[in-house]
Every structure is written in C-alpha cells, then in structure tokens.
Structure 1
Amino acid sequence: MKYEPLGSFSVAEAEGRFTSGHPHAIAETLISAALHASDSAWVEKRIVQFADHGDLGIRRAAALALGHLARNHGCVGDAAVAAVEALTDDAALSGAAQDALEDVEIFTRPK
C-alpha cells in the first residue's frame, strides 16, 4: 500500500464520485469527505450508506471515515456509529471497525 495524500472535493464532485461505481474512487472520496467536509451530517449519511456496500474496501473506508469524523468534529450520530458497529461482526473488518469505535469513544467524550 502506498500513501497518497487526499485532496478535498466539492459536494457535487463527491456525489459524482459516489455514483461512479468505482470502488477506489468511492472509498477515497468517503475518507476525503470525513477529513475535509464541513457538513458532518452529510458525511455521516454517506458512512451509513456505504457501511453495508458489497465492496470490502468501501466498507473499510466507511469505518475509517467514522474515526476521522469523530476526531475532526468531536461528535458523530448514532446511525453512523451503529453502521460501523455492525462491521465488527465481519472478520475482515472487525479491527478497522473497532479502531473507529475507539476513536468515537476517545474523541466524542465530554471533556
């Protein structure tokens, strides 16, 4: 795996990438949105949408996006958390899902 810095996308660009059908583009855009988008509710909807996608990489990106969102915004909604919690039952994703849920616990706790 090679590190590639993620740029930001406008909502219109992101929506186009989400509907592209290309798993790498969808995953990259989901993570980018969690890192750069100011509308956390919009990102959470996308996390929920893609957490049960047929592609493993997209589901992994949904978990990673939740962790980034928790770190960057300090709060996440119950639906996004539940969508990622469901990934803990998948042996291939349980580690990524647990990491994301730990980020939620750490970064969304009242200070």
Structure 2
Amino acid sequence: MKYEPLGSVSVAEVEDRFTSGDPHVITETLISAALHVSDNVRVEQWVVQFADHSDPGIRRAAALAVGHLVRIHGRVGDAAVAAVEALADDAALSGAAQDALEDVEIFTRPK
C-alpha cells in the first residue's frame, strides 16, 4: 500500500462523493472529511451514517475518522463514539475500533 495524501474537500463535495456508491471513494472521502472539514459535528454524522455500512473498509474508515476528529478537535460526540464502540465487536475491525477508542480516551482527558 502506498501513502497518498488526501486533499481538502468541501461539504458539498463530500456529499456528492458519498452518492457514488464506490467503497474506495467513500472511504477516502470520509477520511479526508475528518481531516479537512471544519464542521466536526457534520463529520460525526457521516461517521454514524457509515459505521454500519455493509463494506468493512467503509466501517474501518468510520473508526479512523473518529480518531482523526478527536486528535484534531479534542472532542467527539457520544453518537460517534457509540458507533465505533459497536465496531469493536467485529473481529475484522476490532483493532481499528480499539485504536479510535484509545484516541478518544487520550485526547479527551482533562489536562
């Protein structure tokens, strides 16, 4: 796998790309949104939306997005955390979910 930086996206671009139905496009867009869309509440809504998607790569991206959100903003909503907690029971995604939940624990601790 080769690292490729994800560019900035607008909310309109994100929503348009999500309609593609292409798991690769959705995955990249969800992660890019977590990194670049300043409306973290909207990104959290997308995380919740895609956390129960049938494609495991998209569900993994939802967990990764929560980790990025909490590292960038220092907070993440309960619904997004609950969505990732639900992924912890999936053997294929438990590592990604646990990483995201550890990020929540680390980056939301009182200083």
The answer, yes or no, to whether TM exceeds 0.5 is yes
Distance between the aligned counterparts of 1:12 and 1:37, measured in 2? 11
Residue 61 of structure 1 aligns to which amino acid in structure 2? A
Corresponding residue for residue 41 of structure 1: 41
1:73 Cα shift?
Answer: 0.3
Deviations 1:44-80 (A, max 9, x none): 0000000000001000000000000000000000000
Residue 82 of structure 1 pairs with residue 82 of structure 2: yes
Corresponding residue for residue 70 of structure 1: 70
Deviations 1:71-105 (A, max 9, x none): 00000000000000000000000000000000000
Greater than 2 Å deviation, 4+ residue runs = none
Corresponding residue for residue 19 of structure 1: 19
1:2 Cα shift?
Answer: 1.3
Corresponding residue for residue 50 of structure 1: 50
Residue 82 of structure 1 aligns to which amino acid in structure 2? A
1:8 Cα shift?
Answer: 1.0
Q: TM-score scaled by structure 2?
A: 0.98
1:110 Cα shift?
Answer: 1.6
Residue 62 of structure 1 aligns to which amino acid in structure 2? A
Corresponding residue for residue 32 of structure 1: 32
Residue 90 of structure 2 aligns to which amino acid in structure 1? D
Distance between the aligned counterparts of 1:35 and 1:9, measured in 2? 9
1:19 Cα shift?
Answer: 1.2
1:109 Cα shift?
Answer: 1.4
Structure 1, unaligned stretches of length 5 or more? none
User: How do 1:91-102 residues align onto structure 2 when only pairs under 5 Å count?
Assistant: 91-102=91-102
